[in-house]
Structure 1
Amino acid sequence: MEHGSLSHNGESHIISSDLGGRRGGWITFPFIAGAVAGLTIAAGAWLSNLIVFLIQEFNVNSIDAAQISNIANGCSSFFPVIGAIIADSFFGSFSVITVSSCISLLGLVLFTSTVTLDSLKPQPCVSGSELCEPTSNIQYAILYTALALASIGLGGTRFTLATMGANQFDKPKSQASFFNWYFFSIYTASVVGLTVIVYVEDNVGWKWGFGIGGIANIIGLAIFVSGTRFYCFDKPKGSPFVGLARVVVASARKRNLQISSESKDYCYHGDQGMTDMAVATPSKSIRFLNRAAQNVEGDVKPDGSIAKPWRVCTVQQVEDFKTLIRIMPLWSTSIFLATPIGVTSSLAILQALNMDRHLGPHFKIPASSVVVIVLTSNSISLSVIDRFLCPAWQKLTGRFPTPLQRIGLGHVLNVLGMAAAALVESKRLNIAQHHSGDNAPMSVLWLFPQLVFVGIGEAFHFPGQISLYYQEFPVSLKSTSTAMISLVVGIAFYLSTGLIDLVQRFTSWLPDNIDNGKADNVYWMLVVIGVVNFGYYLVCAKLYKYQNVKGTGGNPDSDCDK
């Protein structure tokens, strides 16, 4: 982060308006940060404690509750990509954020209704009995509607806010500084959601927790809208994915065309900043795609404009598509890097429910709050990396660590975290299976090392991935590049759900009561997956060549995260 980056640094967009005032720049950050904080706290009210909520209020067994939580996390991570596409293509970021905030509020209203009106939830299980009143179809319908609305609302705000905030700046270094402060706001608000609100839900009442979340949602929306007169608004320019789809269609339709080596045979109309055809000659890699930009009779009008958009596209669109193909193997390694995190976040909560969570005689840690250790270690690690490790690395090597190096270290730390989790769970099961009741429960503090490893690992690989995608993605996809991490997390949560389902189907490692299972074997399985995935990552990283060398290292003025 830049020192004094929140002060006015003279960078703001100046546009003509009736007010004659300045728009954009750091003056917009308090409104963006306030909205992020409010909406993140609102999301924490339902998402952070969802497993416990389903078990206690809807009589869902523990493994099924973990699966539903993973699906909800996956949806919340998929929707940002959809929100980014809608914002870029049709309505703009401001409209998508405003509408999504209202949808999020509706979801919280439904959640509050389920714990306020007895008819919207089943009666609690009889103490000491395994007989529980089944949940009705109407009750499930209300629950899943609340989950869907809240997930859509969260998905349409979080990364769209990041894109809108970054669009308030012109200089890449200011954008990088904005992202640092932006994620700091998210982490801080997430800690509040995982501690204060979860504590209120567990000890005061669910309706109070959901109510606080609803109020935070309203405040966040109000703060965001109040900054309207300071924002720069980017007009939707159509989805860049349409251009990429045209590459696939056009190359398929021209699959029998002889590839030309003459630059004059290719279409350059609409390629911005390309005045020299020789510079824009299609690259020789993945040559079959070059057909998509090759002109044939009737493709181009006499004035040079494209007559048949789905038969020919520009050279730049072809090169953009090639760039995505080159980076996809690296991107795929991130999916299997995030999948163990999804499994761990669910299992850690189930472990905590069966452990001694007392700190002193009067305070008991809410089970869902143990995940705050990941966020805390992540935030601390980000500061240490930014202020100490990166400068030290530069002094030793003469350059900043590259995104690929940071991601690689994240892989290693993630594997270590899974190994620590396996060892701790083995010890916990040994104690649980040899001591009946609560005579000798294991302290929840034993979960901290594995969560710290995961948090430190995230501090390396998630920012490294964001830096890589933002640096390497085509200009037309810069906004979408920030949502790629969300897409990774979404796919990973669905894979973790499928993985747990497979484990339940073919093994006895994860029964409803994990004290009777072998969850340590699940962690060891994740260690093996992590090691194999790390080997795959090393191969992909070795073969990958940076498309945008500037900022990858060696430039003393470049930001550490670039």
Structure 2
Amino acid sequence: MAATELQLFEGQLSGQLTASEEGQMKNGDRKRGDVCWTGCVMGLTLTAGGWMSNLIVYLIGEFNLKSIDAAQISNIVNGCTSLFPIAGAILADSFFGCPLVIIISSFISLLGVIMFTLTATVHSLRPPPCTTGSDTCETPSKLQFAVLYAVIALASIGVGGTRFTVATMGADQFEKPKDQAIFFNWYFFTLYVSSVISSTAIVYVQDNIGWGLGFGLCIVANAIGLAIFILGIRHYRNVKPQGSPFMSLAQVVVATIRKRKVSVSSEGENYYYERNGVTKLPSPAPTSSFRFLNRAALKTQGDTETGSNGSIASPWRLCTVEQVEDLKTLIRISPLWSTGIFLSTPIGIQASLTILQALNMDRHLGPHFQIPAGSFLVFNLVSTAISLSIIDRFLCPMWQKMTRRSPTPLQRVGLGHILNVIGMAGSALVESRRLQIVRSHHLTGRPGTIVPMSALWLVVPLAIVGLGEAFHFPGQVALYYQEFPTSLRTTATAMIALLICIGFYLSTAVIDLVRRVTGWLPDNINDGRLDNVFWMLVVIGVINFGYYLTCARLYKYQSVEKDDTSSGSDS
């Protein structure tokens, strides 16, 4: 290989450029582009982590919400911050391009954290303080709730519009899928390292010095990240939007319905290949999978205008073979994509319930230092960041030496499924032990009582789940980016965000269902059975893994397979 993986990330992030562009760009400009991209990602991630990681504690301590209600709101917020990247991706792919979407979203994020700071410093924007667990705590007024939800909405939109759009802009600088996969590993590494910093340093300031100062640090990080991005934007190759790809996919569906009575032909010359009056030849017949969709590209009388060089009379009646194949690609990959939903749901439930567990356990490190409850999720982030480095620098090269092929995205995702199930089982065992201590010390019925068990026991299952994330998140992003149609590249990287979104929404629904049907999740978790919740997630994970294996066995790579073959021959 001409460069190591780390050199690819550090030295080529700004591009696989044309010959003329390469001549114009100096090495110093390229390095400055790398620094700007890294600074932008870190600044925006510090901002997001600064308010999201400690949101449950903020809602309980400053807005007097019940613990399970705060966890539910946190899950909804996490779902929203994962849903909004889809909207950002559509806008970037279809209309504005990545840079403009990132800049606008960063401004919205900045406004959100400024308003967060106001809720923490202006007393009229939150209810009077009370002792945790007291029955006389005053709930927020309608106005205070309205302000709170508006603040969360602004901050969530800002996070959603930047997180995966920045990833796509970075990946667009590369042409080879192998280099893109390396880039995504390092993107997630940067993301998780920044999240570790925000979940420790900023959360510590919020818990021990003041919420106003903590949110103020988020303002500074957001402003720096935005400024760095604007300063470095000229060092990047900008892929211009090509119009809405979703309109093209909709046209295939409509054209197929309108020609539902037309017989499908197996002859390639009967199909339409032109794009803007240019015919792409030689062109094979459309693939046989989902054969009924081929009708959309089948030429019939009246589909093209006479005397106009064969241009389409109506794009809602005749589509190109390329459009048809793009839709088929999405349909083929959708079952695999759906397996990630119940991979994300347990992670969302574990994240929210772990904070509640930590609030009720001994969090001391030595006689004078206590770990903030909101910082416990940092162990998940640290595990993922370290694992990403080990996987990229040692495991993948070792695998390639033994098999002469890089590990496929599907293999990485499958291993992530297994580790996720093991992590949920670990959480169930830790909670079972915690509840044994609760009963042996007769602590039931006493809200706010700290259980004499070290909260560091929560680290082990979090670390296992973090190791699983190091396999399945980059694996999924690389798979979607490489397999999706070129016109949907930004949407492809945001598909993982949509999975997380649905997973967090489902986690909220699952928690609500468990609260209604069972007695496992009361407001005082010392009186409940969180261990049963985690065992339920283990069962769901095992069933989902079986579904994943079925989908993976039936799926055939398109772009990845070709790249692996070529890279194997180069090694």
Q: TM-score, normalised by structure 2?
A: 0.92
Partner of 1:31: 36
Aligned to 1:269: 274
Give the partner amino acid of 1:475. Answer: T
Distance 1:177 1:128 in 2: 48
Q: Deviations over 1:225-266 (max 9, x none)?
A: 111332333322112111111111111121122222222221
- What one-letter code is carried by the residue in structure 2 that aligns with 1:330? L
SS class of match (1:190)? helix
The alpha-carbon distance between structure 1 residues 384 and 273, as it changes in their structure 2 partners (threshold 3 A), is farther
Q: Provide the secondary structure at the position in 2 that maps to 1:499.
A: helix
Is residue 25–residue 169 contact of structure 1 (8 Å, CA) maintained in 2? no
- Output aligned runs, 1:411-450, within 5 Å: 411-436=417-442, 441-450=452-461
* Structure with the larger RCO, 1 or 2 (CA within 8 Å, 6+ apart): 2
Give the secondary structure class of the aligned counterpart of 1:5.
Answer: helix
Give the letter aligned to residue 349 of structure 2.
V
1:551 aligns with 2:563: yes
Q: 8 Å contact 1:399–1:554 — kept in the other structure?
A: no
Asked whether the 8 Å contact 2:273–2:321 carries over to 1, the reply is: yes
* Counterparts in 2 of 1:311 and 1:261: CA distance versus 1, 3 Å: same
Tell me the TM-score normalized by structure 1. 0.94
- Does the CA-based 8 Å contact 1:201-1:207 persist in structure 2? yes
Partner of 1:299: 303
**Pairing 1:201-220 to 2, within 5 Å after superposition:** 201-220=206-225
Greater helix share, structure number: 2
**For residue 92 of structure 2, what is the aligned residue in structure 1?**
87
Asked if 1:287 is matched to 2:291, the reply is yes
1:149 to 154, 157, 170: 154
Residue 188 to residue 316, structure 1, CA distance change in 2 (3 Å): same
Match in the other structure for 2:513: 502
Distance in 2, Cα, partners of 1:223 & 1:136? 39
Q: Residues 453-532 of structure 1 correspond to what in structure 2 (within 5 A)? A: 453-532=464-543
- Taking the aligned partners of 2:569 and 2:64, their CA distance within structure 1 comes to 56
Instruction: Give the alignment of 1:22-101 within 5 angstroms.
Output: 27-101=32-106
In 1, the alpha carbon distance for the partners of 2:66 and 2:453 equals 22
In structure 2, C-alpha distance between the alignment counterparts of 1:133 and 1:540, rounded to whole Å = 51
Contact kept, 8 Å, 2:520 with 2:532, in 1: the verdict is yes
Q: How many Å apart are 1:14 and its aligned residue?
A: 5.8
Equivalenced residues, count: 557
Aligned pairs for 1:115-514 within 5 A: 115-126=120-131, 129-270=134-275, 275-277=280-282, 279-301=283-305, 302-436=308-442, 441-514=452-525
Same amino acid, percent of matched pairs: 60
Q: Does the C-alpha gap of structure 1 residues 425 and 304 become closer, same or farther in structure 2, counting only changes over 3 Å?
A: same
Deviation at 1:22, TM superposition (A): 5.8
Cα gap change, 1:288 to 1:35, in 2 (>3 Å): same
CA distance in 2, matches of 1:323, 1:199: 46
Shift of 1:20: 6.2
Q: Distance in 2 between matches of 1:531 and 1:176?
A: 28
Structure-2 separation of matches of 1:128 and 1:31: 46
Letter of the 1:294 partner, please give it. Answer: L
Is the 2:167–2:184 Cα contact (8 Å) retained in structure 1? yes
CA distance in 1, matches of 2:336, 2:276: 27
CA contact (8 A) 1:2 1:177 kept: yes
- Give 1:126 shift: 4.8
| TM-aligned CA deviation for residue 7 of structure 1 | 5.2
Q: Distance in 2 between matches of 1:175 and 1:554?
A: 15
Distance 1:44 1:11, change over 3 A: closer
Alignment-mate amino acid for residue 255 of structure 1: R
* Unmatched 5+ stretches in structure 2: 444-448
RMSD of Structure 2 on Structure 1 (CA): 2.4
Aligned partners of 2:185 and 2:474 also within 8 Å = no
- The superposition leaves residues 524-546 of structure 1 with CA deviations (integer Å, 9 ceiling, x where unpaired) of 00000001001111111111122
**Counterparts of 1:108 and 1:127 in 2: how far apart (Å)?**
25
**Structure 1 unmatched ranges of 5 or more:** none
